[in-house]
Structure 1
Amino acid sequence: MKSLLACLALMIAGIATALFIGFHDHTGNKEIVYDDDQEGLQDQIVFKFSHVVAENTPKGLAANKFADLVNEKSGGKIKIEVFPNGSLYSDIEEIEALQNGDVQFIAPSTSKLGMLSPEWGVLDLPYAFTDYDAAKKGLNGSIGTQLFDSLKKNQLKGLAYWTNGFKQITTNQGPVKTPDDLKGQDLRIMQSDVIEDQFKLLGAIPHQESFNSTFQLLENNVVDGEENTISNIYSKKFYNVQDYLTISSHGYLGYAVMTDEHFWKAQTPETKRILTEAMKETTEWNETYAEQMNKEQLEEIKKNSAIHIYELSDKEKKEWMKRLDPVYRQYEPIFGRKLIKELLELRKDS
């Protein structure tokens, strides 16, 4: 009888343990993964870096360089596992994944951050930056600081700004030389109301769609065209499904490299030092290499594609700016006069 009672007691204890484990709350901060393939258990910490572009783009290459530098500086004790092409999370999902602790680093386009703080939309204004030097000066100065400060209320930490380049226009509906040439054209754009409003102002029909759906939309003629940097047009082969490319440089495409504030505070001073140094070196490299890469890949498109290319003159760009200036006045109450004024001052200096 005693043995029977003992067996029953063990069974009840086992069931209770299973129930506790099964219903335990897993919604808190995720435990950092350790790579068991190292010589000793928990010798290497693994952090995840998710992004949505190809590896042979300014952001893709910068993410890989950051990973290499962290590995080198930590003596292999910290591993940055990079997931390109939206293989882990889409550009719509990655911010939530960061906040949930499912990934430790992301570098969304600055356009995506308008959903967190409307001020970020200031970087989507037409001709916000007119060259790489202006972008570097603005983002490394007061404008960039104000935008990163706006992330704090969401418990997010801005680490650096990476650049992709300036956006151009591709389409199948004839060459785009003047703003009026876009009238009635369906264009894929990023998730940004500022970008949507500027194309509506020109008479186009913008569609906010994810980056990784763009090729299919173009190939199936769901849209007539899109706007993107040369590096993205080249890496995703948009030139194979588009007939015309206009070098308009009408918008800037950059990325905000971010992490979660809780994650960052949990790291040791040594880990923070390694990550900070690696990020600084990567950013300096990106600022130089992105411009060079866009130039080289434009030459490759010219050599290996039948797409017709037209480059706006400085005089033509001024006409585009004039037509698009009402967007600045429209958004001044949202972004604030101070930010708008700082952008326009940079335009004068460039």
Structure 2
Amino acid sequence: MKYLIGTSLLVIFIILYILFHPLDFLSGKELPFDDEQEGLSNQIVIRFSHVVAENTPKGLAAQKFAQLVEQKTNGLVKVEVFPNARLYTDDEELKALRNNDVQMIAPSLSKMTKLNSDWGLFDLPFLFQNKEDIASFLSSKAGKKFLTLHEDEGIKGLALWSNGFKQMTSNVNPVQHPEDFVGQRFRIMPSDIIAEQFQALGASPIEVPFDQLYSALQEDQFDGQENTISNIYSRRIYGFQKYLTISNHGFLGYAVLINEKFWNSLPDKVKPKIQEAMNETTNWMISQSQKMNDDQLKWIEKESSIQIHYLSDKDKMEWYPKFKPVYHKFLQSVHSKELKKFAEERMEQMETQ
């Protein structure tokens, strides 16, 4: 409304100026200039598409990033956030980014394994022990190297975001021991490493995009799944599954990507401001995701009928031997010597625990 009123007033001003200064108009003399209108016409818009709900860690981080960018650039750059696969589905967003139909996306790290097998590192079970362990690796030289993996494909990485640890749910029985998985169908993200993980446990992995998870639950397409508490909460998985195991067995993260040609077209004064906003958002999300997962677990425990079990250290000792083939599969496909060494060290730690 404010824009329409401002535009209407400008048009009226121009008409009146022409009526009272016809010689200026006919002579080609420049008309008075409206700085506010110039600002609107020069505003840079970044369309940021993602597939989760607004009240999840990723959804809230995207909103926070948009707010910080607007503040730091004094409104010159506007980030328009489109959650819940409103523009593109899980399967469509990478193509949309390459085509510059959207300028930013934040797919799960598991999905990135289709582009480069090194991303499979993040799908290894029991890779991280706590949120400090996660933060340390994401900010390390090895972690930042992931952001440059796809520059030859027109994709620039801005950050790696953390949604914390994944937990197990099932509609058949509590999953605390390896034999509890045998014969069950488990929904997974598209990742060979995750598929290998469930096969090692005797389950059948079924790939289902995140935006189809709710409908797949309704149609009983699988028996169990793995996810963070925030996603279990936002997708109301607790209402469809009978058992929840707090296992902290896996990590769920996101790669925040921007179309590289679009990024290169931005003014030099703008790029540092956007990166600064992204860095602040990334640091905020690590603690925020932990808090959300903790708070929403308390809500699920209090308000839902799902039975909650906690994986003990003794239980984990039964899981570790099953996961050795998963680590070996990754070691066969990884390109980076640094990542190979990191995975080998984590596998040794599991064997000695």
TM-score grouping bracket, smaller chain normalisation: 0.7 to 0.9
Map 1:1-350; keep pairs closer than 5 Å. 39-40=37-38, 41-336=40-335, 338-345=338-345, 348=349
Q: Distance in 2 between matches of 1:124 and 1:74?
A: 36
Identity of aligned residues (%): 47
| AA aligned opposite 1:343 | A
What is the deviation of 1:338? Answer: 3.6
Q: Distance in 2 between matches of 1:346 and 1:198?
A: 16
Q: Distance in 1 between matches of 2:340 and 2:244?
A: 30
For structure 1, list consecutive stretches of 5 or more residues without a partner in the other structure.
Answer: 1-37
Task: Write the deviation string for residues 267-300 of structure 1: whole angstroms up to 9, x where unpaired.
Answer: 1111102211110111111111111111011001
| AA aligned opposite 1:91 | D
What is the deviation of 1:147? Answer: 2.1
What is the deviation of 1:345? Answer: 3.6
| AA aligned opposite 1:287 | I
| Structure 2 contact 167–244 (Cα < 8 Å) conserved | yes
CA distance 1:123–1:228, shift in 2 (3 Å): same
| Structure 1 contact 328–340 (Cα < 8 Å) conserved | no
TM-score, normalised via structure 1 length: 0.85
Q: Comparing 317-326 with 293-302, which one deviates more in the overlay?
A: 317-326
For structure 2, list consecutive stretches of 5 or more residues without a partner in the other structure.
Answer: 1-35
What is the deviation of 1:260? Answer: 1.7
Q: Distance in 2 between matches of 1:143 and 1:291?
A: 23
CA distance 1:54–1:202, shift in 2 (3 Å): same
Task: Write the deviation string for residues 171-213 of structure 1: whole angstroms up to 9, x where unpaired.
Answer: 1101111011011111111011110111011110110110111
Task: Write the deviation string for residues 139-196 of structure 1: whole angstroms up to 9, x where unpaired.
Answer: 2113313322322221211111111111111111011110110111111110111101
| AA aligned opposite 2:61 | A
The alignment of Structure 1 onto Structure 2 pairs a total of residues equal to 313
Q: Distance in 2 between matches of 1:193 and 1:262?
A: 30
Q: Distance in 2 between matches of 1:183 and 1:301?
A: 26
Aligned-pair Cα RMSD in Å: 1.8
What is the deviation of 1:344? Answer: 4.6
Q: Distance in 1 between matches of 2:45 and 2:220?
A: 42
